[in-house]
Amino acid sequence: MSASSPAVAPAPSRFSPVVVIVVLCLGSFSGALMQSLVIPIQAELPKLLGTDAGSASWAVTATLLAAAVTMPVTGRLADMFGKKKVMVASAALLAVGSAVAALGDTLTPFLVGRVLQGMAMGYIPVAISMVREVAPVDKRAGAVAAVSATMGVGGAIGLPLAAWIAQDFSWHGLFWFSSGLALVVLVATLVVVPHVHDAHPAHLDVVGIIGLAVGLCSALIGISKGSEWGWDSGRTAGSIAGGVVVLLAWGWYELRHRDPLVDLRTTARRPVLFTNLAAVLIGFGMMAQAIVVPQLLEMPEATGYGLGQTILEAGLWMAPGGLMMLVFAPVSSRMITTLGARITLAVGATVVGLGYLVALFLMSAPWQLMVASLVASAGVGIGYAAMPTLILDNVPEAEAGSSVGVNGLMRSVGTTIAGAVMAAILTSRTITLGGHVIPDESAFKVCFVVGAGAALAGALVCLLIPRHRARAATTEPEPVASGV
């Protein structure tokens, strides 16, 4: 079977393709929102949940880990059983997880809810791979761009939205809000998204799922907790090394399995491999901004470089960046059509890097950091659509969901590494103010330089991706829809 899928006609539906794409965008936005939902209340979680700060930090870590593991698994399940079924299940997980977190007043049920919310992010890669089955051929690039952009928009809009709800209502309200939003997504997906006969029956690789989960969790926990545990501690080294060993054994097993969770031979194809490597670097570059800029905005003015903003104010300064991603989604679509996804991704990564360089020289006022955030966000908006387009152009239809899921995993790996690296930099250069140790100005500048370097390295990797050559359509039957 060709790696490039034929240009099939969009699946029939009683709703217009635009309405279906809006639902896919809403579902992806809801999943991405979970990343930043607890940031405004993170400092208060130990008191709210009756636990210590180290345990409370798992409220963020557990969600990111669950999302990283779930994305390729969900994509594979979508390839096997059909995309609509998996998106409905993901929306249901989000509703249940949000309700569990809302009802929890202690750490254990709260973390269970957060893990379920992270698992619901599997909706995103499935929605992206669904686009080419519901959008007209000439609108697919724009539709992929729109759905992809909502990943960044959810994270950017989530911060001020969560800060407002937590400030004016209660922290439980954050999760009741996300539960209600999840129910809307669940009903909309059931009613609006057409059921497409896109299943490719295969045996479920349970051992592969377990191996991926154990290896990823061990490695990513070691990376994300390195600053807290100490990079020279046996706990950190053992966690990372153990995860790598398990992942190597998992890869050996997957290469010999008849129906692998992830077809590593497809992943090793040069276009897919370099796209995923670029995803790690660009994910790093994107996350560095989300970590560093809010801290600089909220740093006390007494430092001489801090901008003294509240959490809500900092979120509002960051929010326009999310809207910028949406604004540049159609720009990305036109660039993909005229220049190709490879060049578009390289341009997007370059613009992200330029955003950091702007921040390096404009960091003395909130509006200046907003300008830098707008530049970087424009790059994210350009690049986010190109990544799944490159993947979908170079994998078989039967592996579309899992391949986009692996690409999402690579972005998650990049964001996790970014969190660890930024934390290490910010704690390596400090001053003491009012008895508290805080990062000094040079630490923030180093973070901006490192973020720019990662994004620009991603742009160079993009240029190693082979130019896509159109292939003859295969005789593979077109997906058939049976209504909604």
Query: Per residue, what are the HEC states of 17-61?
Result: HHHHHHHHHHHHHHHHHCCCCCHHHHHHHHHHHCCCHHHHCHHHH
Higher pLDDT residue, 333 or 251?
251
Beta bridge partners of 437: 432
Name the H helices within 233-365.
234-256, 264-267, 270-298, 311-339, 341-361
Mean pLDDT of 322-340: 84
Instruction: Please report, for the chain, the start and end positions of each structural domain, with discontinuous segments joined by +.
Output: 17-204+259-462, 205-258
In this prediction, residue 13 carries a pLDDT of 61
Identity of the residue numbered 124: I
Query: 38, exposed or middle or buried, with CB in 10 Å at 0-12, 13-18, 19+?
Result: buried
Q: Residue 333's pLDDT band (boundaries 50, 70, 90)?
A: confident
pLDDT at 138: 77
Contact (CB, 8 A) for 125 and 19: no
Q: Residue 69 pLDDT > 50, yes or no? A: yes
pLDDT of residue 452: 92
Cα–Cα distance between 92 and 114 in angstroms, integer? 14
Which of the residue ranges 80-89, 361-370, 431-440 would you say has the lowest mean pLDDT? 431-440
Q: How far apart are CA 20 and CA 417, in angstroms?
A: 35
Q: What is the chain's mean pLDDT, rounded?
A: 83
Over the stretch 206-221, which tens digit does the pLDDT of each residue have? Answer: 898 899 889 988 988 8
Confidence of residue 472 (pLDDT cuts 50, 70, 90): very low
What mean pLDDT comes out for the span 53-59? 77
CATH 1.20.1250.20 assigned to domain 17-204+259-462? The reply is yes
How confident is the model over 235-283, as pLDDT tens digits? 999 999 999 999 999 999 988 888 888 888 888 888 899 999 998 888 8
pTM: 0.80
Lowest mean pLDDT among 6-20, 125-139, 407-421: 6-20
Which amino acid, one-letter code, is at 37? L
